[in-house]
Every structure is written in C-alpha cells, then in structure tokens.
A and B are shown apart, each in its own frame.
Chain A
C-alpha cells in the first residue's frame, strides 16, 4: 500500500487509537502478533496503538520495536485479573476456579515510570499463585503509589460487572475506590459496542439472563461517567485482526481452557472484537463521536515505555563506581601474579589496557560480579569453565573466570569487548549440567531475588501439540487425532499440510477429508504461537535494585524467577545477561574427581579415594586431593594418547571425523587442539583448509606468507588463516588500524557490500603504507574468503581447556574417568561403546550388583584371577603356565608381547593393570537398570545388605518388572548365588524363581524401556550357545536380556556371537586393520556406532560409518558411487559387514573405502540356511518383505529402488 494510504484515510475519518488489544502473547487467547498489531495500526492510519496482553508484558519489546519501524507510537499496558468486589476483604477469598472468570482491569503505562509500575504489578500478580495471576489490594496500592499509569475499566472490570448487574451505586463506589488511589485523570471507563443483544444469545445457544445487552451497558456506563466525572473512551477489546479470524481465537481459548468448542466456552456472542479501523469505530459510535476521539487523546498522553538499544550497566556489587574500579584493579593485579608469578611487561601492559577499556564503559561491577559467581561455584565444588570470547580477556584470566592465558595464546581482548560497539560483553560459563540449578541458587543467594532472574523462553505451538490441541477443541475422537499427530514428524505446523500429501499413512485415518482439512487449516493458523513461558536453559539476568522495574518476572515450576522477556528482548533492552550452560562433560569430570578423591555426594554410600597423591603417578599431583587445575598444558602422555586417536570420551574430539583429523594433525601441544577445534567445522572442512594446514605442519608443503609484515600474525598456523584474531591481525597490519577497528572491519566482511567497502579502505591504506598491489590483492582475497569460516580463537581456546583436561583424565585416571562418562553420558556415542572402550584398554566392566553398586558407575579393584576371568584372559594364562603359546587363547585383538608379564589389550594400552597384578575395574551403577525406578534404587541403597532375593520384594518393595530387570541385568547374580550348589544354575532359572515369588504382587507397566537402537539388535541375536573359544561363554539369551535392561552388552560383545561366520567371511579385526597394507581389499564387521554424512566440497553425498567389533573401531567411507549398493544396508542395519579397499591419509588414519555392505544378521540366517553365497551376491535392493510392501502400494511411491530407505530391515523384525 502506498505512503498516501493511511494518511488519506486518517484525515478522512475520526481520530482513534485502540487501547485494549491482546496479542499472541496473551498466550492462547488472541491471534495478532505484536508486530502485526503495529503494522495494522499503521495501515489503519492510527498514530498510536496500545498492546494490553492478559497477565504479561512479554510482547512489549517486539511491539515497541515494530511500532518504531512503522512510525506508530506504542502504548504499553497489561490486562490483569483483580479480586471480584464481593470477595474483597473476605477471609476466605480465593482464586476463582477458572482464572478466566476473574474480573480484569487494564493498566496503561504513561512513560518509563509507568512501565516500571506495570513490571512490578505483573510480578506481584504472578507471585500470588502460579498459573492464576491475580493482583491483590496490596499490589494495587503499590501500583497506585508508584504511579504514572492509567487504569482502564472495561466491560469485564469489577465496575463493568456491577453495572451489568444493574447496581449503579455499587459500581460508583467501586470506581471511587480506584479513583481515590489513581486520581480522576488516570481513571477511565471503557465503552465497547459489540452489538450484543439483551440476554446475549437469542437465536443460537442459551440466553444469559445476566447479560443486559450492549445498549443498556453503554447507557449505564456513560451515566456513571457523567455522575463520577470520569472520562469514558471507546474501546473494542481486540482479540483478532479480521472478523473471520475469530475462529482461531476461539480455538486458542478452548485449547487454553482445555474444553471443547461450545458457545458456553467462547466468552463471546459474536465476532465484533476485531481490529476495527477508525471509520468502523466511528460508525459504531456515531451518536457519540467524542468517545472515539477521547481514545486517541488518551493514547497521546502515554509516552514510550522504554528505549531500545543502548546498554544498561547495573551496579551489581552495590559499590560506588570509584570503589568498584579500585577493587577491580587490585583484584586483577593480584590475580595475575597468582596465575603467572611475575607477569612480565607485556602482560602487565595488556592488563592496564583492558582495565582502562572496562573503566571507560563503567563495567567494573560486571567483572567483579562474575568473578564472585565463579568463586562461589568453585567453593561449592562445582566445576566451571568459561566459554566464548571472554577467554580473550586477561582480566578474566586474572580473576579466575577463564583458564586460558590470552597473552600466551594470542587471544584478542577486542574480539570480546570492543569499545566501538555499543553492547554489553557476553560472559558465558559452563557448569556441571546436573548441578546447574545449584549455580542459580548461588547467584540468587549472593545478589538476592530482586536482582536476579532467569531469561524467559517461549514454548510455541508445534505440529504435534497443535494437532492434539486443535483436535481436542474440535471434539474429534482422541485416538484419531493421536493417529494423525503420531504420523507427523517434528515439523512446523505450517508445513503440516504439505507433509500430509507426502505421508500416505494418514490415508489410514478415519477422519473424513473435511474434518481433516479443518483440523489442518487451524493447525497451520496457530503455528508457532507462544504457548507458555518457560525458563531459558542458560540465561541469567543480573541487575541492581532496579531490575524489577525493567522486567516483569514470574515463577518457574521449580520456583525460580523467570523474566517475561526472552533473550532477544533483554538484548534489545540492553540488560546484562550471564549465560550459565549445563555441560555434561563437566559432570563426568566431577564424577571422576569424586571417585579419585573419595568424595561422597547426595547420601550415596561413603566412598574411599581410589588414589593417593604419593602413589598415583599422576603428573602435577603432588599432594592433597587431585584437582583439575593441576593439569598442565602439553603433558606428553596426554598428547601421546590423543595422537593415537583413541579419543572416545574426550570432550570435542571424539567423533569419527575428529579422530581422523587427529590422526592427520598429530597434536603435540595445547595450541594444536585449539587449531583442531577451529578447523573441524563445516566451513573450513568444506573449503578444505585442513589439507594445506596439515601438509605445512608436517613440512610437506612450503609455508607461504604473502608479506613479511604478516609473518607474526600467520606463523602459528603456517600461513593459513584459521582464526578471527588472524583476520583482525592481517587487517591491522595492512591498514595500521588498532585491534578494535580491525574487529569492526572483520565484522563487515560477512556480506558482499561490506567486503566491497572494506576492500576499498584496505587497498587505499595499504598502498599508503607501501604494500605492493599484488600482495594486497592476494591477502585481501584470502581474508575476505576466510572471514566467513574463521573461528574466534578465544572460543576455540576456551573449548580446548576441557578437551585437554578430559584427555589428561583418560590418560592418567582412566577407570575413574570412564565411570564418569558412563554416569553422565556426555558424548555422541552410546554408553555401550564407552564400556567397550574400557575393555579395549584392559579395564573390565562389572555389571550392576544389587549388593554393591552405587547409584552410578564407580571404580573397584579386582584381584588378578578375577580380572583375568572377566577379560577372558584365564585360558591364555593357563596355556602360558603349561608352557604353551598363549596367543591362540587370547580374546580377539589382544596380544602378548614376548617376555611381558601380562597380555596387551587391543589398543596396545593397558590402563587396567596395577603394579601388583590386580586390575582396576568399572562397576556399573543401579541407575543403568532402566526399569528400576529411582525410588526403588534409592531404597535398595538404603536398606542393604540383603540376604535373600525376596527381601527386594518385602523390605524394598521392588515391583515385578524392576525385579525381572535386575535379573536380566545380572544385578542379582551375587545375591542369588548363581551357579553355587543348591542355588539357581543361571539367570533363566533365577528369572523363573522371581516370577513365581512376585506373581502375587501383581503386574505393573514398565516405566521406561531401553530404546537404544542396539537393544533392537538383541532380538536378532542367535539364541543357541555358540562356542567361540572363550572358557565361559554366556548364551545369546543372557546378552539379549542385558541389552534389554541396560542397553549394554555386558557379558560378551554382541559381535562375538557371530565369530564363526566372521571367520568364514575372512573378516579383519579392527585392532589388526591398521596393519593391513594400503590398497588391499578386505572385509570388516561390527556394530554401527556412528554414521555421519558431513557436507563435502564437491557436494556429493558421502557416508562415514564407524563399526565397533570388540577389538576397536573401524572407519568405513562410502563415496557416492558405492551408495546405490550400500546406503540402504549402512543406514538400516545395526550390525554391518563391509567390504572395501584400505586407504591411508596422514600418519594414522587407515580407512576402508567401502564398496559393499551387508546386514550381518541377514548373512547369519542365510548361513544357517546354507545360502550364504546367494546372500553375499545380493546388492543394494531392499529386503524381500519391503519389496512386497512397495508392490502393494503401502510404501511411498516414487522412491527409486536405488535410493536408501531408512531402517526397514532392522526395524521390520523389531
């Protein structure tokens, strides 16, 4: 629409502004977004418009921003429930059963002070009761004394209701109560004309005798206005933009109230509550045009509620600025000495420069406050790490906030805090994930509830929840709605309609096309609307005493104060935010430290330290308890382990791709990890920055730096630009600008326009500074292309700290670290692979034991005999003792170097053997038994020792499913004395006994079944006992039960059951794979533990498959040409046999280039049937039952047989 549009219409009609409007942030009530409201007001020619959501101000920031963009003055208000007059003062006054019945009053902010009043009032209303906010008398008094608000009494206000009841005197008295507090000028009556008939519904639905009709209502309201001398204004109580949108408002409201659509539930008799324009509004009030104009006049009395942009540095510590500055200087200097000893000139000068910048911004308090928080967190024994660009600050390092020395690592302060940029620096802290709320408690304890709030986050209506909600509102049969909902993948509701066409499964729905159409149309229209306010997973607002003037807060389910503003809102308001992220790796490390130091938490059974400083042989640990800050950079054994690529479990560097890169890069120091983390991202990988980097690092390619002036910047990465800091350094060298300006230039390189502008500037200044033209062109082309890929070195360095520490723990405290990984599951792999990793390092893993296990995994010492039996080494030992060659008796992958006292595990690294021949072992916790409830588990720990299995039933109250799960997991083996004379022979027999003993106790439904993919493999295990040369080979049934109950194949690796077939197929073990000559064609086999399809420079699809076969992992790469034959199996099967050619990149990375792939379970069945040759000849095509399904039309048409279909084969039998 043209610019003349609104102006022309505005001048041609009455002035009007809507003063009561709800948006989507009224949460399932109204249909306009705040942005749309602002735009609609502009289109209707209004100069002002108000947003008055029910119970909150969450839409306010985006509304104000959108209004500014369209040139409309925003008025911010809120619609709050108040106690009904007749319950006031009554001792039994309680919240109405339906909050929607409560009378409501609208408050409009007249300016910033009024906005503060609104914030306080909203917070006070929510403090009353969660879910049913209500403003009590005390809060109304507080709002009145704080002031600067206009109180608008509409149809649903206490005054409006008394008028409807025909009690004009009571209404006048009630109005007086408000007027006495807020003043005559700020007390307003709202008049609305929806043309509601006397009795409400007269034709459709049941009449309401309490409804006087709009004519009477208006007459009574205007009479009261005359009598009280209070102004009246025309309003329309807007809930939707156009009349026809009322259907969406109806659905939202019924979803919120949890009721089906029905006249009684709509809270309306007609669809008049739309966003009427001034013309329509004047038509409705043609007898009293002054009421329409009065609304516009009232809006003009309200000024903007807050300013956007700019920053607000709160005085967190309560010190005055000079004191705070002095404290920061003193603490930073002392901290630097503590960190570095004599800091030296460079660091001292850098510290002063940073302190000056902080001083200029007045941010002393921020740094002091974060340092205090970090100290508190440390003191509480919670691991904390700084992430992000804050690691570039020496002040942060000195204050103990970050653990990376930015001077030694070349990290730029300006990347963190740029004096030219008008925004508060972000400081992000990582803490142990399972103790994040404790950190919130610490912050709140230090600063007080009135100065801390968590950032809000809106959960929105998404496809599945929207289908269920709309379906229920429409009164569709729940099972049919559920059927539709379950067919939908997690996608946005507006994509649902399109998805329906692609999901023929929905054809099975018994809903007719019309109803399905209605359902899906409505779902699409409620898509993405905010549903309710939740706590952001990491953001914490820090403020001073004025915090609650700037944001309304409500309570989370766990009782934490939550801002009604989301992270974008608080950024726009310039509020200070501290991000506290829960990181599972830190929890895993904490678990490791607790085991090492013998720290007991949450009333688990007392632990004793597993190690002592004097005999632990851990570098850097000389006395006392072990702590992570004892981990020095560049510790040789740590990097030796990293270079071996046995990095499963290490933070950030455990994925197959990372392991391949580690093999090529061969890190020797902390800086290499920083580079590794920076290079392993989609941009650099796609641009293949890795190849020149690796080649230059190993001296295979000449290091090329375009100009000597750039050498200091680029030397550390051999002339390849890897980091943002280097882009800044290069720009600075070319132009002579300082780091802060270089950072601004770098930020502009993100788009083509910016590149052109910066390019012109750089060329100009570089020419003045005497750089040759061709050098400038070459360097700038590099800078421009890598600006997009480059990574902030401070980010990478901050990440690399936990990476190096986790690697250190794995290298020196292996069993404790692995127990931590099993307990907190931080990585990308299933836990069964972590258990497998233990075995590969010579550490046996014991199953859960109802008598001995803690809640989570812990570490024990096994005598040599038992350890050997657990690892399957006893046969080899016996052979050695008998003077035979032990090698043929060793488990797969193990070796026995000549003369060595013990055999060597498949990785060639023995982390289990202790000097006295005993072994470290990891024992799983009771938590691993999925079907055992938390309460059952805790009672077991409290009640034991147990003397008989039935005590679980009688003393602990374990249910039948829990007991059977314990049997399956082997947790009762010890208690039941399995195998001992007169005791159950095996778990099958014990299971029968338990079933009998619990049969009286009644059956309960399982709580959570193990759903891991590999558990499904369990169903495919060969059931017969297959001798594979181990002395005691558990049956397939035992392992199947273990996988079902714990998700971990404890007694034997899944693959071991297929050993005879693998031998027949000539499959190479993973541990031997690295010795196979390049170019040889071999077969490998194993459990699929990872499958990735990263973007390639060529754009081709490539699959990276990782197989685990009990001797280690093998990488198999399937390039595009192999995919037609293989992708279907690789994606679908859990157990895979792959055939291909060995290739090598770099020093370690032997990989199989896959040509063929088979499902191992399919080959097994074929083998049993004597049809192995035919099965091996099958290529690519889906299994016969899938072909049959497709022929019958029930699998989607159009997919060529060459295209992989996901998982039908594995799941088809599951």
Chain B
C-alpha cells in the first residue's frame, strides 16, 4: 500500500459515486465500489465563517483500471474537492 495526498481535478460521478478520474495525467475508470464511508472533520477547529457547520468527508474505496492494469484506490471527497489517499497495486 502506498500513501498519497494528491488532488484530483477531473472526477466524473454517477450520483455520489465516482465512476472515473484523472490522476498524474492518466485516466482511471472505476470497475466497482468496494467501500463507501463517512467521517467528519472537527467542526470546532475552524476559525471564522460558518463555524457551526459540520463538514462531511466521504471515503471511497474503488477498484480501478487504467487500461494497463488494475488497482485498488482510496479517494477522499471533502466539499467539492477530491483527493487520492491510498493505492494498493
């Protein structure tokens, strides 16, 4: 397993679930969702603005293919931003 914390800019979704994304210039297609979980950031730490809103973080563990090979990736969605956190090759 490798850890990354890299932003993804192109993520295509079907409803909530990611179906494809682009990472390091390479297109990844989601074959199946292996897990989908929720987690919250501590709402009291933020300063300024809408302090009392809880921001939800979604975790998606998906099996993906790049055409060249398959792998299991863990994506994190926070607000509108997507990030890649973990990869199992």
The interface stretch among A83-91, A192-200, A638-646 is A192-200
Given A197-B39, A215-B35, A269-B39: A203 and B59 within 8 A (CB)? yes
Instruction: Kindly list chain A residues whose C-beta atoms are within 8 Å of the C-beta of B57.
Output: 203-204
Instruction: Kindly list chain B residues whose C-beta atoms are within 8 Å of the C-beta of A204.
Output: 39-42, 57
* CA of A517 to CA of B47, assembled, Å: 11
Residues B39 and A202 in contact, CB atoms below 8 Å apart: yes
| Residue A522 lies at the interface, judged by CB distance under 8 Å to chain B | yes
Residues A263 and B76 in contact, CB atoms below 8 Å apart: no
Nearest chain B CB to A643's CB is how many angstroms away?
A: 65
Given A203-B59, A203-B76: A195 and B52 within 8 A (CB)? no
| Residue B54 lies at the interface, judged by CB distance under 8 Å to chain A | yes
Instruction: Kindly list chain B residues whose C-beta atoms are within 8 Å of the C-beta of A247.
Output: 43-44, 52, 54
Instruction: Kindly list chain B residues whose C-beta atoms are within 8 Å of the C-beta of A244.
Output: 52-54
* Complex interface residues of chain B between 21 and 49 (CB less than 8 A to chain A): 35-44, 47-49
| Residue B1 lies at the interface, judged by CB distance under 8 Å to chain A | no
Q: Closest residue to B43 on the A side, CB-wise? A: A247
Given A203-B57, A203-B59, A514-B48: A270 and B38 within 8 A (CB)? yes
Please give the number of chain A residues whose Cβ is less than 8 angstroms from any Cβ of chain B in the complex: 35
Picked from B54, B59, B74, the residue with its CB within 8 Å of the CB of A243 is B54
* CA of A194 to CA of B51, assembled, Å: 24
Instruction: Kindly list chain B residues whose C-beta atoms are within 8 Å of the C-beta of A250.
Output: 43-44
Given A195-B37, A197-B37, A203-B59: A262 and B42 within 8 A (CB)? yes
Residues B52 and A214 in contact, CB atoms below 8 Å apart: no
Residues B42 and A263 in contact, CB atoms below 8 Å apart: yes
| Residue A521 lies at the interface, judged by CB distance under 8 Å to chain B | yes
* CA of A213 to CA of B38, assembled, Å: 11
* CA of A1103 to CA of B78, assembled, Å: 64
Nearest chain B CB to A526's CB is how many angstroms away?
A: 13
Instruction: Kindly list chain A residues whose C-beta atoms are within 8 Å of the C-beta of B37.
Output: 195-197, 202, 213-214
Instruction: Kindly list chain A residues whose C-beta atoms are within 8 Å of the C-beta of B49.
Output: 514
- Interface range for B: 20 to 34
Picked from A214, A269, A514, the residue with its CB within 8 Å of the CB of B40 is A269
Q: Closest residue to B76 on the A side, CB-wise? A: A203
| Residue A1148 lies at the interface, judged by CB distance under 8 Å to chain B | no
| Residue A941 lies at the interface, judged by CB distance under 8 Å to chain B | no
Instruction: Kindly list chain B residues whose C-beta atoms are within 8 Å of the C-beta of A812.
Output: none
* CA of A771 to CA of B25, assembled, Å: 103
* Complex interface residues of chain B between 56 and 87 (CB less than 8 A to chain A): 56-57, 59, 74, 76, 78, 85
Nearest chain A CB to B89's CB is how many angstroms away?
A: 19
Nearest chain A CB to B18's CB is how many angstroms away?
A: 16
Nearest chain B CB to A286's CB is how many angstroms away?
A: 13
Nearest chain B CB to A264's CB is how many angstroms away?
A: 11
Convert A181-197 into 0s and 1s, putting 1 for each residue whose CB lies closer than 8 angstroms to a CB of B. 00000000000001111
Given A203-B59, A514-B47, A514-B48: A195 and B36 within 8 A (CB)? yes
* CA of A263 to CA of B43, assembled, Å: 10
* CA of A262 to CA of B48, assembled, Å: 19
Nearest chain A CB to B79's CB is how many angstroms away?
A: 13
Nearest chain A CB to B74's CB is how many angstroms away?
A: 8
Most B CB within 10 A of own CB, among A247, A272, A474: A247
* CA of A824 to CA of B41, assembled, Å: 57
Residues A261 and B42 in contact, CB atoms below 8 Å apart: yes
* CA of A200 to CA of B43, assembled, Å: 17
Picked from A194, A198, A205, A514, the residue with its CB within 8 Å of the CB of B38 is A194
Residues B47 and A271 in contact, CB atoms below 8 Å apart: no
Instruction: Kindly list chain A residues whose C-beta atoms are within 8 Å of the C-beta of B39.
Output: 196-197, 200-204, 269-270
Residues B38 and A195 in contact, CB atoms below 8 Å apart: yes
Instruction: Kindly list chain B residues whose C-beta atoms are within 8 Å of the C-beta of A205.
Output: 42
* CA of A927 to CA of B58, assembled, Å: 66
Q: Closest residue to A517 on the B side, CB-wise? A: B51
Instruction: Kindly list chain B residues whose C-beta atoms are within 8 Å of the C-beta of A213.
Output: 35, 37
* CA of A196 to CA of B76, assembled, Å: 14
Nearest chain A CB to B44's CB is how many angstroms away?
A: 5
Instruction: Kindly list chain A residues whose C-beta atoms are within 8 Å of the C-beta of B52.
Output: 244, 247, 518, 521-522
Q: Closest residue to B51 on the A side, CB-wise? A: A518
Residues A271 and B51 in contact, CB atoms below 8 Å apart: no
Q: Closest residue to B58 on the A side, CB-wise? A: A195
Picked from B44, B54, B59, the residue with its CB within 8 Å of the CB of A202 is B59
Instruction: Kindly list chain A residues whose C-beta atoms are within 8 Å of the C-beta of B48.
Output: 514
* CA of A246 to CA of B59, assembled, Å: 20
Given A203-B76, A270-B38: A261 and B53 within 8 A (CB)? no
Residues B38 and A196 in contact, CB atoms below 8 Å apart: yes
Instruction: Kindly list chain B residues whose C-beta atoms are within 8 Å of the C-beta of A196.
Output: 37-39
* CA of A250 to CA of B42, assembled, Å: 10
Picked from B42, B53, B59, the residue with its CB within 8 Å of the CB of A197 is B59
Instruction: Kindly list chain A residues whose C-beta atoms are within 8 Å of the C-beta of B51.
Output: 514, 517-518
Q: Closest residue to A518 on the B side, CB-wise? A: B51
Instruction: Kindly list chain A residues whose C-beta atoms are within 8 Å of the C-beta of B41.
Output: 203-204
Convert A203-231 into 0s and 1s, putting 1 for each residue whose CB lies closer than 8 angstroms to a CB of B. 11100000001110000000000000000
Most A CB within 10 A of own CB, among B35, B38, B49, B76: B38
* CA of A203 to CA of B47, assembled, Å: 20
Given A203-B57, A514-B51, A518-B52: A474 and B44 within 8 A (CB)? yes
Given A202-B59, A261-B44: A246 and B54 within 8 A (CB)? yes
* CA of A246 to CA of B56, assembled, Å: 12
Q: Closest residue to B78 on the A side, CB-wise? A: A203
Nearest chain B CB to A197's CB is how many angstroms away?
A: 3
Nearest chain A CB to B48's CB is how many angstroms away?
A: 5
Instruction: Kindly list chain A residues whose C-beta atoms are within 8 Å of the C-beta of B78.
Output: 203
Nearest chain B CB to A254's CB is how many angstroms away?
A: 9
Most B CB within 10 A of own CB, among A200, A270, A475: A270
Nearest chain B CB to A776's CB is how many angstroms away?
A: 63
* CA of A270 to CA of B37, assembled, Å: 9
Instruction: Kindly list chain A residues whose C-beta atoms are within 8 Å of the C-beta of B43.
Output: 247, 250
Nearest chain A CB to B4's CB is how many angstroms away?
A: 13
* CA of A262 to CA of B43, assembled, Å: 10
Nearest chain B CB to A257's CB is how many angstroms away?
A: 15
Q: Closest residue to B49 on the A side, CB-wise? A: A514
* CA of A12 to CA of B56, assembled, Å: 29
Most A CB within 10 A of own CB, among B43, B53, B74, B85: B43
Nearest chain A CB to B61's CB is how many angstroms away?
A: 8
* CA of A522 to CA of B52, assembled, Å: 9
Most A CB within 10 A of own CB, among B44, B56, B57, B76: B44
* CA of A270 to CA of B47, assembled, Å: 20
Nearest chain B CB to A220's CB is how many angstroms away?
A: 16
Instruction: Kindly list chain A residues whose C-beta atoms are within 8 Å of the C-beta of B40.
Output: 204, 246, 268-271
* CA of A657 to CA of B67, assembled, Å: 96
Residues A203 and B53 in contact, CB atoms below 8 Å apart: no
* Complex interface residues of chain A between 219 and 278 (CB less than 8 A to chain B): 243-244, 246-247, 250, 261-263, 268-272
* CA of A213 to CA of B61, assembled, Å: 13
Nearest chain B CB to A247's CB is how many angstroms away?
A: 5
Instruction: Kindly list chain B residues whose C-beta atoms are within 8 Å of the C-beta of A246.
Output: 40, 54
Instruction: Kindly list chain A residues whose C-beta atoms are within 8 Å of the C-beta of B54.
Output: 243-244, 246-247, 271
* CA of A375 to CA of B57, assembled, Å: 69
Nearest chain B CB to A1002's CB is how many angstroms away?
A: 44
Q: 18 extra interchain contacts, Cβ-Cβ under 8 A, other than A246-B40, A247-B44?
A: A196-B38, A196-B39, A200-B39, A202-B59, A203-B76, A247-B43, A261-B44, A262-B42, A270-B39, A270-B40, A270-B56, A271-B38, A271-B56, A272-B38, A475-B44, A515-B47, A518-B44, A518-B51
Cβ-closest 3 pairs across A and B: A197-B37, A270-B38, A195-B38
Interface residues of B (CB under 8 A from A): 35-44, 47-49, 51-54, 56-57, 59, 74, 76, 78, 85
Q: Can you report 26 residue pairs joining A to B where beta carbons are below 8 Å apart?
A: A197-B37, A197-B38, A197-B39, A202-B37, A202-B39, A202-B59, A203-B39, A203-B57, A203-B59, A204-B57, A243-B54, A244-B52, A244-B53, A261-B42, A261-B44, A270-B38, A270-B40, A270-B56, A271-B40, A272-B38, A474-B44, A514-B47, A514-B49, A514-B51, A515-B47, A518-B52
